[in-house]
Structure 1
Amino acid sequence: MGDKANTHPGAAGRAVAADQPSSIRNVVLVGHSGAGKTTLVEALALTAGAVNRAGRVEDGTSLSDHDEIEHRQRRSVQLSLVPLSWDGCKINLLDAPGYADFVGELRAGLRAADAALFVVSAAQEADAVAGSTRLVWDECAAVGMPRAIVVTHLDTARTDFGQLTQICAEIFGGDDPDAVLPLYLPVLGPEAADGHAPATGLVGLLSQKIFDYSTGERKENPPDDSQIPLIQDARNRLIEGIIAESEDETLMDRYLGGEDIDLKTLIDDLEKAVARGTFHPVLAAAPAADGATQGLGTVELLDLITRGFPTPLEHPAPDVTTPQGTPRPALTCDPAGPLAAEVVKTTSDPYVGRISLVRVFSGTLRPDDTVHVSGHGLTDRGHEDHDVDERIGALFGPFGKQQRQMNHCIAGDLACVAKLTRAETGDTLSAKDDPLLMEPWSMPDPLLPVAIRAHSKADEDRLSQGLARLAAEDPTMRLEQNQDTRQIVLWCLGEAHMEVALERLRSRYGVQVDTVAHKVALRETFGDKAAARGRHVKQSGGHGQYAICEIDVEPLPQGSGIEFVDKVVGGAVPRQFIPSVEKGVRAQAARGVSTGYPLVDIRVTLRDGKAHSVDSSDAAFQTAGALALREAAADTPVQLLEPVAEVRVLIPDAYVGPVMSDLSGRRGRVVGTEQAGPGQTLVRADVPEIEIDRYAIELRSLSHGTGRFQRTYTRHEAMPPHLAERIRAESDAS
């Protein structure tokens, strides 16, 4: 695995095609923002001959040419695909954003990939493995996804590779740190004036060969006698780690008995352990220096991908049913099987229109085919379910800003599909006469609310369509039309996610919006009993308006709603007008009587009234009923009720104290804690929703990116008087 002399430094060819699933490798790059994932992709592309020394593809553009939004954000915000060819294999590199706000793009990459490269920066030693990266590692471990670790920035950082490898072993290895071991050790060059000795090559621990990159091209050299003792301890530990994962149970006894295990056996067992996801090699990589054709460790990394990572044939496909929910047999990665593909990402191009990145799990996708689109159970996030037929447009593989046409896309491969007008991220594409629906992947809950309104009348006319297109691209966003507060609310994963959404509305869809203060859906109720008289009497020539009603109001237990009781005797209010009074009372309750929030949990009793044989009407008694309720509210205290959510916070044990203290400071009541796994605690608390508007951001800061939470509405409770007075003052001011 990279320990052999490699005779294909960059002549792997520019045409990236695959005719068999066994020749495909789908790999997602995972790591903290700034770890060097995109730079690593460019270095691998250079070594594979996909770009020239200037990092340019055939049309002169760069693989790292970002769109306007990414330039503004100064970070990657979306999943990108770069296909390469190496050693007879097609490698689909999926570069996932490292910032926590774009974890939806990362989850899409995990869905499309069969293995993961975790990129760790030596320049970020203090926080080389961010909390969010650790969470992703655990997700991959839960499904047995093969993983390897790549250390970057060794060319610029004053970092001990061995120390960083040990950190990775402790964090990623868990109970078995010997499952995370280096395959190579850096060879340091002459010490510079600043005392830093950059890495100029690698020594293979198994082969004990030196791979020298100091000239810009990889060369294989025998080790000096002085170098062999320096690597012996690391080599012995690596061999023991490989043997521990071997399926040959006699191998360890033979090794401990002094037998020299041959190199081929060790490499074969290593490749099998990596593909099974039980052993996680650590490698080092760096971009090519000026004028060089290969970056440090890139050949070794490409060899690891092609020889150690699994093919799509070894990766189980998601479960499938019919769109009606009837289970179907498990899919196999067979190009001749039934068509089953999934949209893992949706974008909009100003010239091409909607572009769907698709992973084919079974069958073969071809241009101009008519497919069935099924999906996808996210109606609560503004995504309608789909059950329609659509015609496939062109198939192409993206490369920088190029679009390379594909004649077909077989099982195990990825391709971009143009002009699927109805398909959204998460939807299933299948044969129109055999429709299927794949089990959706887990999506993070968007928990940061952002209220918006159109900037102008012209924007208002375009807003609905723009929001629909935005929702089609991003299933991690939830679109809410709140009837209580009459606000349009985008629920996002964080501030950066919000900024990207608003920028996409402006730049892609031509919709300018303003953000406004997010309102929580408060309620009003009576604090005590009250009685009032509603009098609506007007004479203006001809028929007038005459209605008088007298009511009693009393508070009810929470959740009772509005009760209306008729206790009129003697026909003081004619029977046909009693429903009119009730209608007026309910309409006024919906509008509120104090701050404009709905009035709830009261019983209104109509006990008396007066009518006129000519001037009384349905409208008059509706008005009288509303007036009576307002009059009753003027003579008794009106309580404001605020929504309370059950908040469940999952955090490492080290942050339990600070999180519980923070929840208490938000007027929260901690109702319990429980162990939720090794080193993890689940904290449950009841917290007023008005206090957790920005909790998605604040928990991330408090727990260094390791905390997650869920919120569920439970009830409304009386708001403290001083806060209620502030709300009333704000209502009066507006």
Structure 2
Amino acid sequence: MDQSNGSETGGRRGNGTRCVAIVGPYLCGKTTLLEAILARTGAVPRQRKTSDPNSIGDASPEARAHGMSVSANIADTTYLDDQFTFIDCPGSIEFQHESSLALTICDAAIVVCEPDTKRLPALQLILKQLDDRGIPHFLFLNKIDSFMTPVRDIIPMLQPASVKPLVLRQIPIWENGVATGFVDLASERAYVYREQDTSEIIELPTGLKDRESEARYQMLEQLADYDDELLEQLLSDVEPSRDRVFDDLSEDLRKGVICPVLLGSAEHGNGINRLLKALRHEVPAVAKTAQRLGVADTDSAAFIFKTVHSPHGGKMSVARVLTGSLTDGAVLRGAQGQEERISGLFRLMGEDTTKCDAAAAGDTVGLGRVDGLATGETVTTSKTPVVQIEAPEPPQPVYGTGLGLKDCKDEVKLTTALGKLMEEDPSLQVEHSRDTNQIVLLGQGEMHLRVALERLERKFSVAVDRIKRQIAYKETVRKPTEIRGRHKKQSGGHGQFGDVVIEISPQPRGTGFSFNEKITGGAVPKQFIPSVEIGVKDFMQRGPLGFPVVDISVTLKDGSYHSVDSSDMAFRQAARLAMADGMPKCSPVLLEPIMAVSIAVPSEATAKVNGMIPQRRGQILGYDARPGWPGWDVLEAHIPAAEMEDLIIELRSATAGVGSYSARFDHLAELTGKLADHAITDQMHATA
């Protein structure tokens, strides 16, 4: 086995199960690494491919259908008597919120990546999140068998993605252009790879001694930046002990001042044992994580980072116990003091669950039917409130689709199912638009929504059609007019009579609606004036162009009444008639919503995005460096809402999948010509 120095053999027992996230850019081999780890530790009989029907990772039907991770996969295993939970997180930016929630409770993370400059922005997104949240992390350079660039050149290439120094801990052994093994710079031992098996120790190749000495000294220099005694030894040409080197690597990782870099090939099972040894001896225990999260030792606390609904099993909340312990049947208290009794405690292995009686600090388990507890809550078994761990906020939606039921009988079921869907994935939102009378599902991209709707049908048996999202156009007027509206009806007994004269005037954009009255001599009795305003507002819900009316002023100037036949309803109807006759004479015009958009992109893509905005009828307001993000820019622009529908798709295409934006309504602007004609025609068809 690839052994290290004698100080490692004791392990770190008694620290509870350690939880490690596997993260990295899309298609870098995260799930393959999970399968390799499970095979090497004996959790599964052999290493499976993600396409295998019995793989642990990507086991959901949606993940298999699309060939990508779409949710966090959780698996427990044991290595040299130490317990580990691995959480394989999705790589696509569209599913990053689930990763963010899982990272909250992890002791450390393995960042899987390839030596590809095109992946640097995606790698930077991940490393920055880990740095900002103080999560210790390793970099695992995967697919070493396909490296085209020397490792000594790869590290400087990747360094701009990390604010922490990347500390290379291994160098590869090459034979005829093939990586056949590696040298561990800490232990100064050489290993040769064995396909899907533990590496074997060999003599350090003669031709590699100079390179090994150079790389080891560089590693020690980086460690000496945080250890004065080590620095003195290097300056005095004193060789530090291996124990000291390993201690420094462990301490610096836990402090979060370095990012160690290991090499391997997940597909061939190379470098897995060395990675596991590093995790075993250097990843902090759950107590350290609880301290980082502000949870006191005296608390009994667990954090719910995932919710799963199944058609037959009901709701299961996935939580990690940070302090104390949980037992089946225990009563949990949530953030608002609500109490829920655990109805089943489960160990997790991908999609499979196994019942258990108790969970100790460090364990990650499923909690059965604690329906009143939500994702992102910190729960406790004690009667005193527990400090709530700060959960990451869901990102703002950037893509949406209208929903239409295939079966009208599913209307009630749809509302319930969407609620459960959002509980599983808080980065989804549902909008019930009054202006467009549409149900809109909002999320992080086209694939995100596609997977959500597939789950909606598979889990909750609700099938929907995707409908083009309608824009909340408004209309207003350009010039004033004065008009009379009279409602007179006689049909035996009391009749109906209402008569009003109103003035309709435009108001400045964004002012809204105002109603005034200038009645003299009691032409319209005071008790009927509120009904006139109600009648005006009735009409304003759908003006002559077919859209809600805004930014107008209506003044009641005159009218008449009948002592017997006048009523609230008659004056309300008279006001409607006056508006219907008067609005077309006021030069009505369509208004479209304009969004204030902040677009964040790598600097090399700024010019491309600058070209995209005018093509969408947008106006560039300016751009600047993104604060705290070296090599990124933020562009500010105004873009019509009608042009935003597929912006995120084009943006990510131009930025290797990492571009993002936030948008908010800014103002309404006049829309004329063919675009206005199309909007009016579409509205007529929609309401026909």
Cα 1:130–1:66 shift into 2, 3 Å: farther
Distance 1:54 1:679 in 2: 39
Distance 2:134 2:658 in 1: 21
Select between 212-221 and 263-272 the one with higher mean Cα deviation: 212-221
- Of 515, 534, 538 in structure 2, the residue corresponding to residue 564 of structure 1 is 515
Distance 1:602 1:633 in 2: 10
Q: How far is 1:96 from its partner? A: 0.2
1:213 partner SS? strand
TM value normalised by structure 1:
0.86
Distance 2:479 2:502 in 1: 14
The answer to whether structure 1 residue 183 and structure 2 residue 161 are counterparts is: no
The answer to whether structure 1 residue 422 and structure 2 residue 383 are counterparts is: no
Q: Provide the residue aligned with 2:160 in structure 1.
A: 171
Q: How far is 1:279 from its partner? A: 1.9
Q: Provide the residue aligned with 1:159 in structure 2.
A: 148
Q: Provide the residue aligned with 1:136 in structure 2.
A: 126
Contact kept in structure 2, 1:648 and 1:711, CA below 8 Å: yes
Distance 2:454 2:43 in 1: 32
Q: How far is 1:529 from its partner? A: 0.4
The amino acid across from 1:372 in the alignment is R
The answer to whether structure 1 residue 310 and structure 2 residue 261 are counterparts is: no
Q: Provide the residue aligned with 1:460 in structure 2.
A: 411
The amino acid across from 1:270 in the alignment is L
The amino acid across from 1:649 in the alignment is I
Distance 2:350 2:600 in 1: 39
Cα-to-partner distance string for 1:475-497 (whole Å, 9 max, x where unaligned): 11122112222211111000111
The amino acid across from 1:162 in the alignment is V
Q: How many residues align?
A: 678
- Give the alignment of 1:379-394 within 5 angstroms: 387-394=337-344
Q: Provide the residue aligned with 2:429 in structure 1.
A: 478
Cα-to-partner distance string for 1:641-690 (whole Å, 9 max, x where unaligned): 22222222233333333333323333333334333233333322233222
The answer to whether structure 1 residue 254 and structure 2 residue 240 are counterparts is: no
Point out where structure 1 has 5 or more consecutive residues left out of the alignment. Answer: 13-17, 192-196, 290-294, 320-329, 375-385
Cα 1:318–1:473 shift into 2, 3 Å: farther
Select between 448-457 and 723-732 the one with higher mean Cα deviation: 723-732
- Of 92, 96, 102 in structure 1, the residue corresponding to residue 89 of structure 2 is 96
2:135 partner SS? coil
The amino acid across from 1:367 in the alignment is D
Cα 1:54–1:267 shift into 2, 3 Å: closer
Q: Provide the residue aligned with 1:297 in structure 2.
A: 271
Q: How far is 1:454 from its partner? A: 1.8
Cα 1:3–1:121 shift into 2, 3 Å: same
- Of 29, 32, 49 in structure 2, the residue corresponding to residue 36 of structure 1 is 29
Q: Provide the residue aligned with 1:724 in structure 2.
A: 676
Q: Provide the residue aligned with 2:325 in structure 1.
A: 364
Distance 1:41 1:603 in 2: 65
Q: Provide the residue aligned with 2:465 in structure 1.
A: 514
Q: How far is 1:288 from its partner? A: 6.8
Cα 1:690–1:503 shift into 2, 3 Å: same
Distance 1:309 1:660 in 2: 44
Q: How far is 1:729 from its partner? A: 2.8
- Of 619, 623, 634 in structure 1, the residue corresponding to residue 573 of structure 2 is 623
Distance 2:472 2:337 in 1: 34
Distance 2:191 2:538 in 1: 80
Contact kept in structure 2, 1:562 and 1:586, CA below 8 Å: no
- Give the alignment of 1:203-282 within 5 angstroms: 203-214=183-194, 216-246=197-227, 249-282=228-261
Contact kept in structure 1, 2:25 and 2:91, CA below 8 Å: yes
Distance 2:39 2:413 in 1: 44
Q: Provide the residue aligned with 2:263 in structure 1.
A: 284
Distance 2:331 2:615 in 1: 57
Q: How far is 1:499 from its partner? A: 0.5
The amino acid across from 1:172 in the alignment is A
- Of 150, 153, 176 in structure 1, the residue corresponding to residue 140 of structure 2 is 150
Q: How far is 1:167 from its partner? A: 5.2
Cα 1:281–1:79 shift into 2, 3 Å: same
The amino acid across from 1:284 in the alignment is L
The amino acid across from 1:690 in the alignment is A
Q: Provide the residue aligned with 1:15 in structure 2.
A: none
Q: How far is 1:338 from its partner? A: 2.0
Contact kept in structure 2, 1:25 and 1:305, CA below 8 Å: no
Cα-to-partner distance string for 1:421-450 (whole Å, 9 max, x where unaligned): 222211221236223333222332222122
Distance 1:637 1:253 in 2: 84
Contact kept in structure 2, 1:80 and 1:94, CA below 8 Å: yes
Cα 1:165–1:516 shift into 2, 3 Å: same
Q: How far is 1:348 from its partner? A: 1.6
Cα 1:432–1:533 shift into 2, 3 Å: farther
2:460 partner SS? coil
1:528 partner SS? coil
2:103 partner SS? helix
Distance 1:108 1:623 in 2: 55
Cα-to-partner distance string for 1:27-54 (whole Å, 9 max, x where unaligned): 1111122111111111111111111126
Q: Provide the residue aligned with 1:48 in structure 2.
A: 41
Cα 1:8–1:242 shift into 2, 3 Å: closer
Q: Provide the residue aligned with 1:411 in structure 2.
A: 361
1:227 partner SS? helix
Q: Provide the residue aligned with 2:439 in structure 1.
A: 488
Contact kept in structure 1, 2:108 and 2:284, CA below 8 Å: yes
Contact kept in structure 1, 2:524 and 2:559, CA below 8 Å: yes
Cα-to-partner distance string for 1:177-212 (whole Å, 9 max, x where unaligned): xx21322222345x5xxxxx5433222223332222
Q: Provide the residue aligned with 1:651 in structure 2.
A: 601
2:182 partner SS? strand
Q: Provide the residue aligned with 1:548 in structure 2.
A: 499
Cα 1:394–1:164 shift into 2, 3 Å: farther
Distance 1:6 1:221 in 2: 18
1:592 partner SS? coil
Contact kept in structure 1, 2:58 and 2:70, CA below 8 Å: no
Q: Provide the residue aligned with 2:619 in structure 1.
A: 669
Q: Provide the residue aligned with 1:75 in structure 2.
A: 68
- Of 331, 348, 357 in structure 1, the residue corresponding to residue 295 of structure 2 is 331
Q: How far is 1:287 from its partner? A: 4.2
Q: Provide the residue aligned with 2:313 in structure 1.
A: 352
The answer to whether structure 1 residue 696 and structure 2 residue 670 are counterparts is: no
TM value normalised by structure 2:
0.92
The amino acid across from 1:38 in the alignment is T
Contact kept in structure 2, 1:365 and 1:410, CA below 8 Å: yes
Q: How far is 1:542 from its partner? A: 4.0
Q: How far is 1:230 from its partner? A: 4.1
* Structure 1 runs of 4+ with >6 Å offset: 5-9
Cα 1:65–1:502 shift into 2, 3 Å: closer
The amino acid across from 2:508 in the alignment is P
Contact kept in structure 2, 1:208 and 1:228, CA below 8 Å: no
Contact kept in structure 1, 2:109 and 2:135, CA below 8 Å: yes
Cα-to-partner distance string for 1:560-606 (whole Å, 9 max, x where unaligned): 322222223333333332222221111111x2212332212212122
Q: How far is 1:720 from its partner? A: 4.2
Distance 2:150 2:406 in 1: 53
Cα 1:620–1:387 shift into 2, 3 Å: farther
1:552 partner SS? strand
Distance 1:624 1:232 in 2: 94
Identity, % of aligned positions: 29
Contact kept in structure 2, 1:339 and 1:431, CA below 8 Å: yes
Contact kept in structure 2, 1:447 and 1:493, CA below 8 Å: yes
Select between 44-53 and 424-433 the one with higher mean Cα deviation: 424-433
The amino acid across from 2:237 in the alignment is G
Contact kept in structure 2, 1:285 and 1:298, CA below 8 Å: yes
Distance 1:159 1:671 in 2: 42
The amino acid across from 1:74 in the alignment is G
1:92 partner SS? strand
